[in-house]
Amino acid sequence: MSPFNLETCARSNILALEPYRCARDDYKDDGTNILLDANENAIGPSLAPEAVSALSKGSGPEINFLGLHRYPDPHQRDLKQLLCNLRNTHHHTDKNITPDNLFVGVGSDEAIDILLRCFCVPGRDRILVCPPTYGMYSVSAQVNDVGLVKVPLLPAPEFGLDVAKILEVLSTEQNIKLVYLCSPGNPTGSLLAKEDIKQLLEHPTWNGVVVVDEAYVDFAPEGSSLAEWVAEWPNLVVMQTLSKAFGMAGIRLGAAFAAAPVARLLNNIKAPYNISSPTSALASYVASGEGLATMRAHREKLVEQRERLLKELPKIKGVGRLRGGTSSNFLLFEMLNVEGKPDNVTALAVYETLAENKGVVVRFRGKEHGCLGCLRITVGTEDEVTRFLKAIEQALAEINGHKVEVPADEAKREAEANGVVA
């Protein structure tokens, strides 16, 4: 087991923090109370009746727009229970996680930042990241004046953890408090091995927290999420979001699963009422019943298009190898120059041509470690994928100066459309 000790790992001022409390921490509103405790506007929200009527139309989740003049539930236990129900799969432990194991915030980015503020003393402590990876770990570290240690992932296409090197660094480097891991990785799309993560959790001397960012985990094979594993490991935090598979990026809802003492510290730090009532209602809807069924149906369609991209992209002249895995809703592919080699100049030209001339926006990732000449392509709808495949073939032909081979049936349709008799 790990030597993790929360009392010596977390910042002393955070351990001593008296969290902000309101009267509704002690007396929850049951709908019958007169609420004169929070200096709210007792008349109601500044919404005309016709606006409320328009906002309330539809058959989706019920949102009480007339209740917006009241602060939202500060604890969100009902929502947290739904998220626990989703992740209590017993693939990794017989134990159950409960709302006491959860922090919910404004996207995963709030969780990334709040972990830094909880564990890292500015100007002294550091975090470890494994590039190529999500850029907000380093951005948040810099904002919080926290140092950065990098141990690159193993080479593509596996992009696995260099476990031996990470263990060595944790044994020899001072003041590393957090290890941020992305699984499935961004931009790699590769799922990290559970046994590799376990080795880090079992480090015999390091007193720190392993943070696994599972933003894309619902596109990975069933049982991939390690969220419930926080019931076994006091030094593990698993972050998730409703922005990806659930398609709820606009509500900015993220979660961090952790051992109860760690989750308690994170909740002590957060701003009061940080999850709005509409966000809570929408998140609760998609995490239960009808919402989960819809998510899974949408995911199936996206996985079909992911498989289509995997089949069709390698057929296009100028598209190189898949780099990384297929456990997310995006793919990382090389762009080849006229010599058939992955090349950043070519990849950047394809990226710009697609966006500026073809109306298709992807992501250039060629400057990331191990991603030479790579574009990251999000899986779209069937129509979007069709348009993208045609656009990237044309873009590569224009850049590399080769001819696009048009299928005979398509050439005939284009000729007829142009008034040419075949």
d(CA 7, CA 278): 36
Specify the residue for token string 């890292």: 120
Q: Are 115 and 123 in contact (CB under 8 A)?
A: no
Q: Is the pLDDT of residue 152 over 80?
A: yes
Instruction: For 99-128, write each residue's pLDDT tens digit.
Output: 999 999 999 999 999 999 999 999 999 999
pLDDT for residue 59: 58
For residue 2, the model assigns a pLDDT of: 82
Find out whether 240 and 228 touch, Cβ atoms under 8 Å. Answer: no
CATH topology of domain 293-417: Aspartate Aminotransferase, domain 1 (3.90.1150)
Task: Measure the CA–CA gap between 74 and 151, rounded to whole angstroms.
Answer: 38
- Least trusted range by pLDDT, from 26-30, 295-299, 374-378: 26-30
Check whether 219 has a pLDDT greater than 90.
yes
Percent of the chain whose pLDDT exceeds 70: 94
Average pLDDT on 186-194 reads: 98
Q: Give the span between the Cα atoms of 201 and 408, in whole angstroms.
A: 58
Fold entry, domain 6-22+71-288? Aspartate Aminotransferase; domain 2 (3.40.640)
Query: What residues form DSSP beta bridges with 126?
Result: 147, 176
In whole angstroms, give the CA distance from residue 243 to residue 252: 7
Q: Report CA-CA distances (Å) from 274 to 45, 201, 237, 271.
A: 18, 30, 20, 6
Q: What is the pLDDT of residue 22?
A: 78
Amino acid at 376: R
Radius of gyration for the chain, computed over Cα atoms and rounded to the nearest angstrom: 24
pLDDT at residue number 53 = 76
- The proportion of the chain whose per-residue pLDDT surpasses 90, expressed as a percent, equals 80
**Element containing residue 411 per DSSP (H, E):** helix 408-417
Q: pLDDT of 198-213, one tens digit each?
A: 999 999 999 999 999 9
Residues 6+ apart with CB under 8 A from 369: 131, 132, 152, 153
In sequence order, what are the residues at sequence separation of 6 or more whose Cβ sits closer than 8 angstroms to the Cβ of residue 395?
A: 349, 350, 353, 354, 357, 358
- The per-residue pLDDT for 406 is 57
Q: For the ranges 117-126, 253-262, 322-331, 406-415, which has the lowest average pLDDT?
A: 406-415
- Report residue 104 as tokens: 């919910």
Average confidence (pLDDT) over 8-14: 96
Over residues 352-371, the pLDDT tens digits come to 999 999 999 999 999 999 99
CA gap 303, 300 in Å, rounded = 5
What is the rounded average pLDDT of the residues 178-206? Answer: 98
What is the structure's pLDDT at 413? Answer: 55
**Contact residues for 399 (Cβ-Cβ < 8 A; gap 6+):** 318, 346, 349, 350, 353
pLDDT in tens, 237-296: 999 999 999 999 999 999 999 999 999 999 999 998 999 999 999 999 999 999 999 999
DSSP secondary structure letter of residue 366: T
> Residue 389, SS3?
helix
Mean pLDDT of the chain: 92
Check whether 332 has a pLDDT greater than 50. yes
How many Cα atoms are found within 13 Å in the side-chain-facing hemisphere of 64? 12
pLDDT higher than threshold 60 for residue 89: yes
Each residue's pLDDT tens digit, 266-278: 999 999 899 999 9
The string of DSSP codes covering 249-282 is GGG-EEEEEE-HHHHHHHHHHSPTT-S-HHHHHH
Q: CA neighbours within 13 Å on the CB side: how many for 309? A: 30
Sequence-ordered list of residues with C-beta below 8 angstroms from that of 282, at least 6 positions apart, any chain? 61, 63, 248, 251, 253
pLDDT exceeds cutoff 50 at 418:
no
Q: Say whether pLDDT at 420 is over 50.
A: no
229 has pLDDT over 60:
yes
In angstroms, rounded to a whole number, what is the distance separating the alpha carbons of residues 58 and 23? Answer: 35
pLDDT category of residue 88 using cuts at 50, 70 and 90: very high
pTM, to two decimals: 0.92
Beta strands in 81-232 (DSSP E): 102-106, 126-129, 147-150, 176-182, 209-213
Range(s) within the chain of domains with CATH label 3.40.640.10 = 6-22+71-288
Reply yes or no on whether the pLDDT at 81 is more than 90.
yes
**Could you tell me how many residues make up the chain?**
422
- At 43 the pLDDT is 84
**Ordered strands of the 363-364 beta sheet:** 319-322, 330-335, 374-378, 363-364
- The C-alpha angle 172, 234, 236, rounded to 5 degrees, equals 70
Q: If you search the block for the tokens 């929850």, which residue do you land on?
A: 28
Q: Where in the chain is the domain with CATH 3.90.1150.10?
A: 293-417
Higher pLDDT, 66 or 112: 112
- Give the pLDDT band of residue 60 (cuts 50, 70, 90): low
Q: How far apart are the first and last CA of the chain?
A: 74
Where is 61: in which H helix or E strand? none
Q: What is the pLDDT of residue 408?
A: 55
> Residue 419: is it exposed, middle or buried by C-beta count within 10 angstroms (0-12/13-18/19+)?
exposed
